[in-house]
Structure 1
Amino acid sequence: MAITLKKGQKIDLTKGNPGLKNIKLGLGWDINSFDSGYDYDLDVSIFMLGESQKVERDEDFIFYNNLKHISGAVEHLGDNRTGEGEGDDEEILVNLKLIPKHIQKIVVAATIYEAKERKQNFGQVDNSYIRVLNSENEQEILRYDLGEEFSVETAIVACEIYKYNGEWKFSAVGSGFEGGLETLCKTYGLSV
């Protein structure tokens, strides 16, 4: 049975699941009744951080224009441009055994494409969540519902997956930012 986390909670991924090496991150959301006149295009991005807590190489940033890490450790399965339908809207595959040694933390974030121009924010998004599955048997390990506490934010750091004492852990972050993807890129050391 999957564990449900709240903001700020952390859980051990590999210690409690011996042999776990391939996980799938599923992110989903709905758009509430607000109509800005445009479709909502939410994008999931992955920042693979080194010891400096920054992205140390451009290839360590996975997003809609760079879907797969050169190591094969992280693969974004593609951009869902509407968020319509049931289930996960975007999915990320992670092979924990292939993550390069220089990577200490994987940050998973969601942003709204052209949010400022379209007058959109996460206050207009409902039922957002991230879940972790064992991709070998599709069994859900954990789920974190991001909640409805966002208003003007155009970017959210959903979670962090990080290595501690040789084990991979999951942290439910749920922090909002204004400024979209550009702000997150600057936060994690990428030039925009």
Structure 2
Amino acid sequence: MNQPPTTQRTYHGDINPEEMADVLVSAFNQGNMQAQQIGQGDKVMVQIATRQHAQSGGKAALSVTIQKIEDGVSVALGQHAWLGAAASLGQTALGALANPWSLLGRLDDLAQDVTSLTLTDKVWEAVEKFAQAAKVTKTISERLQSVVCPYCSTANKVGAAVCEHCGGPLGEVQPVSCPKCGNVMPPKSKFCANCGTALPA
């Protein structure tokens, strides 16, 4: 059974959304493809479409929303109408940046207006290469947060086996991250709430 492509991934570490957006624009703004960056700072969107569709306006584009989160970035793929030069400064673009979840849609519908679903694979490949070069991962960073001892309520570092104050075991309260998309899940989660991947026991 084929699973739908993951539309959101989380990368933990020191990563700049604008740098990732620049890499995506450079990678896809060539040949018959056109890419543009909208926004700056902690929330950026990159749109990718064929040049023909981008120039005609109103066609769907693959939208990549890159948003700074605690200890990393969240990268979400979706579809959205190509935002022209005037619209990129207007309310449509601002609304899309304010609510990136509105961009998530059925990626199989996008295949008709962009090139094909292989474009999403190419985007994820470019994002993964950037993440690897930036030395960030989809695994939980030790800097993310502390875990609280269930016996004495002392804060401990994520990953600590026992409480530094009372020596109580902390294995049952450690968060887990999805190996496929990097989403951080509560302890004892069996499946990722983002992509549905079974989590290791």
More helix, by proportion? 2
Using the size of structure 2 for normalisation, the TM-score is 0.31
Higher strand share: 1
Q: TM-score, normalised by structure 1?
A: 0.32
